[in-house]
Chains A and B, each alone.
Chain A
Amino acid sequence: MSDDQSFFLSTSKSIEIIEGNITSTSNQNELSTLDEPIIETVKRDLKAVLRKFGHALIPRQSSTLLQQWDLWGPLILVTVLAILLQSDTTTASSGMQFAEIFTLVLIGSAMISINSQLLGGKISFFQSVCVLGYCLLPLLIAAFTNNLLLYLPYRSMLHIIRFLIVMTAFAWTMYASIRFLGQTQQPSRRMLAIYPIFLFYFLVSWLIILHKPSK
C-alpha cells in the first residue's frame, strides 16, 4: 500500500492542471444561433426555402437542392396543393379529400425514393423526397391558375385551356426532376428510375385536370 501511495504521490506532481472554457472558438458560430431572435431563424430558413423554389423553377446546375435538403418546402407545397384540390369546402368530406391527396403524395414520394435506392442510385431517401416535393411547384402554379380560370363563365374551350396549362406544367416538372434526379443513377438504369417519377406526376396532373370545385 505504501508503495502505491508513494507512487501515486510522485506521479501526481508531474500532472499539469489545464484550465479553460468548455466552449472553444471553433464552435462559436453554431452556438450563437441559439441566442438569436426567432425572426432571424425563420427568415434564414425561409430564404433557403425560397432559394430552392427558384432552383426548382429554373433548374440550373447547382447542388443546393440535393446537398442542403430540407422538408419544409415539400410540406408547404403539398399542403397548399391539397387545399387547392378540395372541391367541397363545407362538408366534412373535405377533410377526407385533403388527407387523400396528402397521403398520395407522401406514399408516391416514398415509393419513388425506395425504388431509386433499390436500383442502386446514389441518393438518400430524404434527398429524393425533397427534390420530388420541390419539383411540384409548377403543378401547384397550374392548379392555382386553373382555380382562377374556373371563375370564368363556362365554355368548352376552358377545358382545353386548362388541360394545356396542366400539361405544360407537367412537362416543366418532369424536366426539372430529371435534371436533378437523373444523374444519380447509372445510365443503363436511368429510364427505370425516371419512369415512376413520370407516373407519379402524371397522376397528380390528372387530379388537377379533373378537379372541379362545387359551386
Chain B
Amino acid sequence: MMFSSDGFLTDNNASSTNTGQTHVFTSFPNSAVDVDDERSENKSTTQQQSDLGAYGLPLPATANESAPEQYRMWQIEYYQKYFQVDTQQVLERLIGSMTPRPNKSYFDSTIRQNPDLYGPFWVCVTFIVTVAISGNIVNYFHQSDAEFQIDFSKITLSAILVCLYWWIMPASVYFFFRWRLNRIEYTFLELLCIYGYSLTIFIPISILWIIPIGWLQWTSTILASIISGSVLIVTFWPTINADHKRFSTVSILAVLFLHLLMAVCIMLVFFHVSDNNINPTTPSTTISTSTILTTAKKMT
C-alpha cells in the first residue's frame, strides 16, 4: 500500500495484476467520493474492502484488511489459483476443444480469462488410463489363456508418452513464439490448457481402437487428429497469420503433423493394427489353432 500522486492509498499489487484485463482507475476527483459513505460501507462488510482497496479508495485504519496471503510454493493453497473452475466451465471447454469453428476460437471465449490445470491434467490421465486398459483388453483377446498377464508397463509407457507430448509441445510452441515473434502471445499455462484439452477427442477413439478392423483404426485416428488439429490451428491462427505467408503454412502443417504423429504412435505401440491386407491367414490361424489345442487339452 502506498500513496499515489493524488493522495489516495492504492494497493500496488492489485493494480499490477489487473493491468492485463481491466484498467484500474486510481485517481478520482475528490468531489466524486463521499469519504464518510465509503468508510461506513467498509465497516459493514469485509468483502467490499478488498474491492475498494483495489480501486484506490482509502481504507479505514480500524477495519481488518483481508489482503490475500502470499502462499509459498510448498503450500497447497499456492496452487489453488490454477483450479478455479466449476463443472459447467470444464464441460464447455471440453466440448469446445472437439468442435472446430472457423471464426470463433473457443480458447478466446472460454479459457483466456481463467486458464486452469484441472481439465488438461485429468484429460491426460483419462487418456493414459483408457489406453492402458484398452491395450490390455486387446492383449486379453489376442493371446491364449495361458500367456496373458496384466501388463503394467503399458500404464507407465502410455503415461510417459502422453505426458511428454502434453509438456513438450507447449514448451516448443512457447519458445517458438518467443524466438520468432519476440513477444509472449500465449502464456505457458494457456498453452498447456490448449494442448491438454486437445487430447479430449482421443479418449473415445482409444476405446474404438480395441475393434481389430484395420481401416477403422486408421480412419478414426486420422479423423480425430484432423478435428483436434484444426481446433489447434483455429486457436493459433491470429498469431501465425501475422507472419510471413510461407512460414505460417509450414508451422501449421508442423502442428498438424506432430499431432497426427502422436496419435499414430500410440495406436501402433499399444494396439494390434490388424493387417488384414497383408498375410491375412497365417497369424490368425496360428492363434486360433493354439486356442483350440489348449481347450482340447483342458477337456481331456
> Which residues in A have some Cβ–Cβ distance to B below 8 Å?
85, 87-88, 97, 100, 104, 111, 114-115, 117-120, 153-154, 188-192, 195-196, 199, 202-203, 206-207, 210-212, 214-215
Nearest 8 CB-CB pairings of A with B: A188-B86, A191-B87, A100-B152, A118-B83, A206-B133, A87-B149, A192-B87, A203-B129
Q: Nearest chain B CB to A71's CB is how many angstroms away? A: 20
Most buried by B among A85, A190, A199, A211: A199
Check if A214 sits within 8 Å of B133, measured CB to CB: no
Check if B129 sits within 8 Å of A202, measured CB to CB: yes
Alpha-carbon gap, A100 to B150, bound state (A): 11
Judged by a CB distance under 8 angstroms, whether B41 is at the interface is: no
Check if A207 sits within 8 Å of B146, measured CB to CB: no
Q: Nearest chain A CB to B133's CB is how many angstroms away? A: 5
Check if B149 sits within 8 Å of A199, measured CB to CB: no
Check if A88 sits within 8 Å of B298, measured CB to CB: no
Which residue on chain A has the smallest CB distance to residue B140? A210
Which residue on chain B has the smallest CB distance to residue A211? B150
Which residue on chain B has the smallest CB distance to residue A190? B87
Q: Which residues of chain B come closer than 8 Å to A191, judged between CB atoms?
A: 87
Q: Which of B134-158 contact A (CB under 8 A)?
A: 136-137, 140, 145-146, 148-150, 152, 155
Q: Give me 8 A-to-B residue pairs in the complex whose CB atoms sit less than 8 angstroms apart, sorted by A's number.
A: A104-B155, A115-B118, A119-B83, A120-B80, A189-B86, A190-B87, A195-B122, A212-B148
Q: Which residues of chain B come closer than 8 Å to A104, judged between CB atoms?
A: 152, 155
Q: Nearest chain A CB to B203's CB is how many angstroms away? A: 11
Q: Which residues of chain A come closer than 8 Å to B126, judged between CB atoms?
A: 199
Judged by a CB distance under 8 angstroms, whether B295 is at the interface is: yes
Q: Which residues of chain A come closer than 8 Å to B176, judged between CB atoms?
A: none
* A117 touching B87 in the complex, CB below 8 Å, given contacts A100-B152, A203-B133, A215-B146: no
Alpha-carbon gap, A204 to B156, bound state (A): 15
Contacts across chains A and B counted by CB atoms under 8 Å:
67
Check if B122 sits within 8 Å of A196, measured CB to CB: yes
Q: Which residues of chain B come closer than 8 Å to A211, judged between CB atoms?
A: 150
Q: Which residues of chain B come closer than 8 Å to A199, judged between CB atoms?
A: 122, 125-126, 129
Check if B145 sits within 8 Å of A212, measured CB to CB: yes
> Contact flags (1/0) for B79-90 with A, using CB distance below 8 Å?
110110111101
Check if B295 sits within 8 Å of A154, measured CB to CB: yes
Judged by a CB distance under 8 angstroms, whether B76 is at the interface is: yes
Q: Nearest chain A CB to B141's CB is how many angstroms away? A: 11
Check if A87 sits within 8 Å of B150, measured CB to CB: yes
Q: Which residues of chain A come closer than 8 Å to B83, judged between CB atoms?
A: 118-120
Which residue on chain A has the smallest CB distance to residue B91? A191
Q: Nearest chain B CB to A147's CB is how many angstroms away? A: 14
Which residue on chain A has the smallest CB distance to residue B132? A203
Q: Which residues of chain A come closer than 8 Å to B150, judged between CB atoms?
A: 85, 87, 97, 207, 210-211
Alpha-carbon gap, A114 to B80, bound state (A): 10
Alpha-carbon gap, A203 to B134, bound state (A): 11
Q: Nearest chain B CB to A167's CB is how many angstroms away? A: 14
Q: Which residues of chain B come closer than 8 Å to A214, judged between CB atoms?
A: 146, 149
* A188 touching B88 in the complex, CB below 8 Å, given contacts A206-B133, A206-B136: yes
Q: Which residues of chain B come closer than 8 Å to A190, judged between CB atoms?
A: 87
Most buried by B among A111, A207, A215: A207
Check if A192 sits within 8 Å of B140, measured CB to CB: no
Q: Which residues of chain A come closer than 8 Å to B152, judged between CB atoms?
A: 97, 100, 104
Q: Which residues of chain A come closer than 8 Å to B140, judged between CB atoms?
A: 210
> Contact flags (1/0) for B104-143 with A, using CB distance below 8 Å?
0000000000000010001001100100110011001000
Check if B295 sits within 8 Å of A188, measured CB to CB: no
- CB within 8 A of B136: which of A85, A88, A196, A210? A210
